[in-house]
Amino acid sequence: MAESIKPWWQHGVFYQIYPRSFQDSNADGVGDIRGIIDRLPYLQALGVDAIWLSPIFPSPMADFGYDISDYTGIDRLFGSMGDFEALLDAAHAGGLKVILDLVPNHTSDQHPWFLESRRSKDNPKRDWYIWRDPTTDGGPPNNWLSEFGGSAWNYDASTAQYYYHAFLSQQPDLNWRNPAVRHAIQDVMRFWLRKGVDGFRVDVIWHLIKDAEFRDNPLNSAFQEGRPPHERLSPLHSTDQPEVHDVIAEMRRVIDEFDSRVLIGEIYLPPERLVTYYGRDLGGAQLPFNFALLSAPWNARSIEKIIHDYEGALPAGAWPNWVLGNHDRPRVASRVGHDQARVAAMLLLTLRGTPTLYYGDELGMRQVAIAPDQVRDPFEKNVPDIGVGRDGCRTPMQWDATRYAGFSTSTPWLPVAKDSVHENVVNLAADMRSILSLYKALIGLRRKLPLLQLGDYVPVTADGDLLLYRRERSGSSLTIALNLGDQPVSIASGAARLSGTILLSTFPDRARETIEGGLDLRGNEGVIIDTSGIYAG
C-alpha cells in the first residue's frame, strides 16, 4: 500500500484526554467539553492527530464515567450534546480526529437495562446481564474476584440470585452471549459513528465473554503480597475466552460500515495473547493496545526484549502500537525519573507503530501524592494501603502558574500538583530545552519523516544501558540511540552505522551535529541520527 493511502491511524499520534482533568470552562472544578474546545489550539500546536476522550456519557460517577447509565447521551457535568457536536466540528476543522471511550463490558446499576433486568427473573432483559443461583450453602456461584476488591458476585435479595461484576458492584457485567446485547451495543456504535466520531477505544475488551460453565478460577502461583487481592487468582475462566473474537469481529464489521474509522481495544495480556485480538484475517481490533511499556523494568535489555517479543508475535499485516501512560497507571515521569522521561518520549515516538500520549506527559507531569481525605478513586478506597490509587495520575492539567494551574478558577476535583507553579504549559513552551519542546520537536520530526511513521524496525546489537535500533525503508535509514542510564556511554561505529547527522537529541545542543565513526552519549541522552544523508539539509 502506498504511503499516501495508508490509514490515518497508522501514521497518526493519539492523545488521551481525561475530561474531568483537562480544562474547566464553567468554574465547577471539573473539566468539560467546552474546556476541551478552548484547548484545541494547544493540541494542534503540539502536533497530535487524534484525541481520545475518556467517558463523557451520563453516569452516577461511581467509577467516574466507567459506569454508564445512558450510552447515547452526554453527562451534564461535561456539557450537552450540542457541546459535543461543536467539539466534533471544531476538532475536524482543525485536522483532529475524535475517539470515544466505549464501555460495553458493564453498565451502571442505574442503567434502564439493569433496572429492568433486576425487576424479576422473567423480565425480558433478565438475560442481558449475568445472573446465577447461589450455591447450596447460599454463597456466590464461584470464586471469581472483583478487580476492585472482594467477590465479583453481588447478591440481589429481591430475586434471590447473584449478578456478576468484574469491577464495582455498581457496574454489573452485560451478558455478551446474548445476541440482543450485541445488537444493542452495535446500535450505540452506529449512533456515534453517524455523528462523525472517528472510532472507539473499547474498555476491557478481553473481558466481554466469560466461561459458559462458570468454573472456578485457579490460584495464581506467582501472586506476591502487596499486589491487588484479585491477583490471587488467575482469570482463566473470567477473561480472554476464545468466543470473544467473534464479538470483536462483529464490532469491527460495524466500524467498517463507515469510512476511515478505527477500533482500539484495551487489553492487558502478554504479547502472544494480545496479538490474537487483531482477529482472524485481521478482522478484529485494528489497534489492540500494547501496554508493555507501562510496567516494564526501565532498563535497555528489558525494553529491547519487549520490542523483540512484540514485533515477533505480530501477525502478517498487523500494525503495532505503543503506550507510555494512561489514566490507570502511575505517570511515566515518576516511573522512570524526570530525566529518563525525555528518553522515554524519544522511544515512544520513534518505535514502529502508532503512539498514544497521555495528557500532561508532554509536560513531564509527575504522580501526585493524594492525602487520605482527598482520595476519590474507588479502587483505592476498596483496596487501601498498597498503592493502587489512580487519582495521582488524573490530577488537573498544568496550564500556567495561577492558583489552580489555569485548569479552573474554583477548587478542582483533585488537587493540582505543587510543581505546577514552574512545570506548566506557559513556562515550558517558552523554554526550548523543556520536555514540552522536545515532544513538539519529536512529533514534528515524525510528521516530516516517513521513515519514522512507516519504516521497518531493525534492532542493532548493544549492551549495558544502551538501546539501539534503526528505522529503514527503501534504502534509507535512521538510527536511534538511547541511553537508559545516567552515566555516559561511548559507541563505536561498527554495525550501528554511526556516521551521519544528528537530527534531534534529548539535549537541544546537538542538533545538526555531524558524527563519524562513533558516538558519545551523555547520561539520560537519546539521539536520532540520519545515517543516509537524505535529511541532512
Which residues are marked as active site?
Answer: 203, 257
CA–CA dist 480, 215 (Å, integer): 48
CA–CA dist 362, 356 (Å, integer): 11
Q: Please name the helix (run of DSSP H) or strand (run of DSSP E) that holds residue 528, with its range, or none.
A: strand 526-530
CA–CA dist 483, 491 (Å, integer): 11
Q: Name beta bridge partners: 97.
A: 50
Give me the helix-helix angle, 244-255 and 179-195, nearest 10°: 30
Exposed e or buried b per residue across 414-453, where buried means at least 16 C-beta atoms within 10 angstroms of its C-beta: bbbbeebeebbbebbbeeeebbbbbbbbbbebbbebbbbb
Pair 312, 305: CB distance under 8 Å: no
**Strands 287-288 and 262-265, sheet pairing:** parallel
**Strands 262-265 and 131-132, sheet pairing:** unpaired
Nearest to 476 by CA among 493, 452, 494: 452
Number of Cβ within 10 Å of residue 219's Cβ equals 11
C-alpha cell at 378: 474507588
C-alpha cell at 350: 520513534
Pair 264, 235: CB distance under 8 Å: no
CA–CA dist 251, 102 (Å, integer): 11
Helices (H), 414-475: 425-429, 435-448, 450-454
Residue 338 identity: H
Residue 393 identity: C
CA–CA dist 147, 135 (Å, integer): 22
Number of Cβ within 10 Å of residue 287's Cβ equals 24
Nearest 10 degrees: Cα torsion 220, 222, 227, 232: 10
Q: What is the rounded end-to-end Cα distance, in angstroms, of the chain?
A: 28
**Strands 526-530 and 354-358, sheet pairing:** unpaired
Q: Name beta bridge partners: 470.
A: 458, 479
Give me the helix-helix angle, 338-350 and 435-448, nearest 10°: 10
Pair 209, 244: CB distance under 8 Å: yes
